[in-house]
Structure 1
């Protein structure tokens, strides 16, 4: 006999078995216990509250921070036959009243609410009239006041414990250091909750960080060579760079859209809607975009600017490959990023303690960028998880060389110190490199820097190498950004290098190669071939693409995101197994009873008409 939870998992959601700690969590919450769940994006957090809500009497209330995504979350559940609804400011009074009536009549399994709604007395009075099976607090890290996604309304969610103490609560997040975990426990009054910590590892994501030299060309190479036709997200720090990057990609024939808080709400909504519903769209965005994105087939996340912290970076890169298929987390990182982030910290609101905290976050991020170790190990270490080298990041696949940069560091620091002592001057990296190279530029002549004893002593390194030296000294605290103009100055640790008391080992800088392949004028670059099917044989890949085209038509006609019909992972399973009957199709992961009834015949027709394997 199947347990009720496993039976529901199979018939409704189309999965044969639970993953990781899902079964333990679901059993605990269904039994009435509180839980704090730390699980990576794509690890199956949603099932941990959806199943208890459906198994316990009443309806589950889900606190979700993004009202723009509630509609898609509910749509995906309805496509599975789950009775779900949402109440937020995007719906009319009549729609809200209809949802409330359905909830009171016992016609809903799940009701999604934004956190600010719980601060309203009428919402609390409405909940008093319901039989609530479970409260789920999604994206629980938003309660952390010094976190990267802090939401003030989350601080009031202790009302769930105070007003409805008999209802089990489950708080879930994919991003929580031990300190954030303690903050969640305290602020949400979850001291008695059982804590479930899954591995933060996302083995299907390949982490790559490279020197920023020609970032737009580097990004184009990533998309064209590795992810043609794939959905992806490109993160930029400023609104201006978002729009410029989206325009540049669009001019190259890539369907790219901008997203940032400065765009009109209707434009943001339309762009997000297109990204979620169409295959192969690239969203270029600030960090205003992405939290809670349910799109499982994002094949790459690219950063053109340095994130502020490993927590933010992990959260953003975690939006790739939620379906478990191979995905890429790529970043181009340069000296200007380090200078800019240091300046942002110095000019930020908050006291000195807060600025020191931001500085520690940045230091951890810089250490990840400059590490000689496995990148995945560094990320997992940050979250308190020990691991072995992964074999699937750039430092594992092509181990970087290190070199003794002590003399180079001394030359650079000596130039900085002499400028300050002898001329009372400070400059940025460009002028310092010109001095070290012995270039007689107009600025060098203007300031008579050719008279310095260090003029020309650094001609043995290229500009790229010198920028690498500057960047790595900044990352290791051996150099500091002195003011808002980006001038550089020594730190206390700099003197140990100048006195020869401290060796400096650096990561060797490698120039970025040109595009790895030439593209014909006939449009090879524009041809869509999803990386999700990269491991399929040619005949199976042909069937996968046919299924993908069919899915796009069905989704467009129904006004659904394509992944709601079937995610890529399910299409890959169909292409590999080629089921010949409804029973065989039902055995494929992601094919539940309602989808089998709705789409089964069409899928079997496509399989039957596909070319036979050679």
Structure 2
């Protein structure tokens, strides 16, 4: 498939004019029949990576997915872009015999391009036998972290997928996940036996998300209600660890006039599906859920994600917070943290096999470090996923509580030494609680039985409160001066690093933070990341109502009709016919035909009733001029006309022509200016600049000028950047 018709297919099926991030490279690899591994954060456009190649290739692509709700969601979305319902199907336990027969017929007749299956369904002999006889284009394994025991959502049935796929056909395998630490990545590749797969890893940075941790006090429910009220009429998810807590919080919200529903595995399937649909269809604003909810839920405008309980791992936390702001708009991620919750989770682990306990404790330790860190939360999170972040200038650098409100630190060198000596002198037999009681001189039966309360060091730290010592223990754990024994649940030990510290204490800056002594959380931070465009709010509200109605009628969620950014664009361009609508951001011909009529009619009435002068006349004119100029530039660079002559014939300066060419390549079209560059730069120079752009973090010309320090001028670098984008990105 050529470059041009890959972009055509993107526009035709999904209404986008350009790919996002790594999508195009991934799709090319899939079309080239390579095994591929994609690590792309939630909201990065993962599903399009396998949907588009499935739609344009011969045969049916099998997509293995863990949740029925997620499959239904994606099938609805794909059916929304096609005339034929059979283009996408689900094959899982929710189907009756007649449904299964219909699915098989559609696959046989070549109508079905995407078949979504649960891993359990793939083990059924009748399905394997049937699929063996069909043309399969590839197998995509979504949420691939489910394969790894180190992943946050391990599912044993995922471990056998490779064997089953081999039985069906020798086809390329595509693994996709939205979160994976280096350890999990390795595990996935090994298990699927695709260790030489082409791997694409997008940045895990979600700059529009604001991260905040608050102390969990007895007033946590009031805090949640106050917070949710600040997001009136906006969608949000609240996560709790237990079903009981889900029901409690949902009821509290409802009593306080907030439209909310519970979601957990204890509800029957029908109720769960109904509650999920109510959220997608915007009949309720908030879902209170256990982690059973939301995996791959494709709602782009979730404006806040609250963790009533801190999750069991940073991968879970990242995955769950990642459901906020998927459309690039506001996403406030608030977690309530109390160390008691961590201790509760540690207790759950104590009955498990030692290997599992070890993994569980290691993952929990990372969560504690994150919650208690005083550094940039974004930097901490990205480092966990093997990515470096510049906390001064990185994208979204100021979007967390630690950066906006730095915590106070105090020198605790002497206290660390006292703590370590106390653990050593009590023969490393006690858990945190007993160590703290020894420090503050508070006796109990265990300390009496071991005569600890008779020792000279008993009460050596009584000038500080127990909460101080508890916080210090956690921070010293993070620093690696003490460790927790896995076998004897929670007993504190001193590794060599800690013994060295006793001999040679160095500065230890302890975060004197709000997790002890300070229960006042009145300093609520609101995240305001406004979009720059002037949206017509009245029309936007009317379009949203219509979208909701159309969604209900077609039985698809509102955003499957049009996404928010597309509707914002409508409120600025006021399209009044289908042709104009097809030029709106993210709306293709198919979408315009399928859903557009009522929208353009509504906009037409609105324009007339409110006597609005449409900027569209201007837009059409400038677009016309631009497209004529674009065509002229492409044709004449193909003819290898000197660039200066092209500029002169159109009355442009050389810099104006360069900017036009930049616009063309950045919108996804190739331009060949090699003939011009060969006159300016020799092969080695071109290679040097090409390699620079390949390695650089940014394509900013100023940074390239600084890097080469006068070796090349601005025009040379700009032209090389055009060549680079044209060849590498398009």
- Distance of 2:530 and 2:289 partners within structure 1: 27
- Normalised by the size of structure 2, how large is the TM-score? 0.72
- Distance of 1:308 and 1:222 partners within structure 2: 24
Report which stretch shifted further, 582-591 or 291-300: 582-591
Alpha-carbon contact 1:439-1:456 (below 8 Å) kept: no
Kindly report the root-mean-square deviation, in angstroms, between the aligned alpha carbons of the 2 structures: 3.7
Deviation (angstroms), 1:459: 6.5
- CA 1:393–1:125: 2 relative to 1, 3 Å: same
Deviation (angstroms), 1:68: 2.7
- Give the match for residue 247 of structure 1: 251
- CA 1:132–1:449: 2 relative to 1, 3 Å: same
- Give the match for residue 67 of structure 2: 66
- Normalised by the size of structure 1, how large is the TM-score? 0.85
Which residue, out of 393, 397, 401, partners 2:400?
Answer: 393
Matches of residues 253-268 of structure 1 in structure 2 within 5 Å? 253-268=257-272
- Distance of 1:408 and 1:318 partners within structure 2: 39
What are structure 1's unaligned runs of at least 5 residues?
Answer: 441-446, 518-529
Report which stretch shifted further, 168-177 or 473-482: 473-482
Matches of residues 21-36 of structure 1 in structure 2 within 5 Å? 21-36=22-37
Alpha-carbon contact 2:142-2:177 (below 8 Å) kept: yes
- Give the match for residue 225 of structure 2: 220
- Give the match for residue 45 of structure 1: 46
- Distance of 1:355 and 1:179 partners within structure 2: 17
Kindly indicate whether residue 291 of structure 2 is the aligned counterpart of residue 287 of structure 1: yes
Instruction: Determine helix, strand or coil for the equivalent of 1:219.
Output: helix
Alpha-carbon contact 1:497-1:503 (below 8 Å) kept: no
- CA 1:189–1:2: 2 relative to 1, 3 Å: closer
Report which stretch shifted further, 569-578 or 307-316: 569-578
Report which stretch shifted further, 214-223 or 467-476: 467-476
Alpha-carbon contact 1:412-1:432 (below 8 Å) kept: no
Deviation (angstroms), 1:56: 1.4
Provide Cα deviations, 1:350-407, integer angstroms capped at 9, x if missing partner: x24x322222222222222222222111111112112211422222223333222345
Determine which structure has greater relative contact order: mean sequence separation of CA pairs < 8 Å that are 6+ residues apart, divided by chain length.
Answer: 1
- Distance of 2:212 and 2:527 partners within structure 1: 17
Deviation (angstroms), 1:497: 6.8
- CA 1:178–1:301: 2 relative to 1, 3 Å: same
- Give the match for residue 335 of structure 1: 339
Matches of residues 549-560 of structure 1 in structure 2 within 5 Å? 549-560=545-556
Deviation (angstroms), 1:450: 14
Report which stretch shifted further, 387-396 or 7-16: 387-396
Provide Cα deviations, 1:66-96, integer angstroms capped at 9, x if missing partner: 1232222111111111711111111211111
Deviation (angstroms), 1:428: 4.0
- Give the match for residue 641 of structure 2: none
Deviation (angstroms), 1:303: 1.1
Provide Cα deviations, 1:561-610, integer angstroms capped at 9, x if missing partner: 12112222322232344334433322223312232123323323443416
- Distance of 1:184 and 1:425 partners within structure 2: 39
Which residue, out of 512, 532, 557, partners 1:508?
Answer: 512
Deviation (angstroms), 1:502: 5.0
What are structure 2's unaligned runs of at least 5 residues?
Answer: 444-450, 614-730
Instruction: Determine helix, strand or coil for the equivalent of 1:158.
Output: helix
Alpha-carbon contact 1:63-1:114 (below 8 Å) kept: yes
- Distance of 1:53 and 1:278 partners within structure 2: 30
- Distance of 1:485 and 1:2 partners within structure 2: 61
- Distance of 1:426 and 1:207 partners within structure 2: 31
- Distance of 1:194 and 1:377 partners within structure 2: 27
Alpha-carbon contact 1:539-1:613 (below 8 Å) kept: no
- Give the match for residue 540 of structure 1: 536
- CA 1:47–1:458: 2 relative to 1, 3 Å: same
- Distance of 1:361 and 1:218 partners within structure 2: 28
Deviation (angstroms), 1:270: 2.2
- Give the match for residue 443 of structure 1: none
Deviation (angstroms), 1:486: 9.9
Instruction: Determine helix, strand or coil for the equivalent of 2:531.
Output: coil
Instruction: Determine helix, strand or coil for the equivalent of 2:207.
Output: coil
Instruction: Determine helix, strand or coil for the equivalent of 2:42.
Output: coil
Deviation (angstroms), 1:248: 1.6
Matches of residues 458-477 of structure 1 in structure 2 within 5 Å? 468-469=471-472, 471-473=474-476, 475-476=478-479
Report which stretch shifted further, 106-115 or 205-214: 205-214
- Distance of 2:239 and 2:293 partners within structure 1: 9
- CA 1:285–1:367: 2 relative to 1, 3 Å: same
- Give the match for residue 209 of structure 2: 205
- CA 1:218–1:482: 2 relative to 1, 3 Å: farther
- CA 1:450–1:210: 2 relative to 1, 3 Å: farther
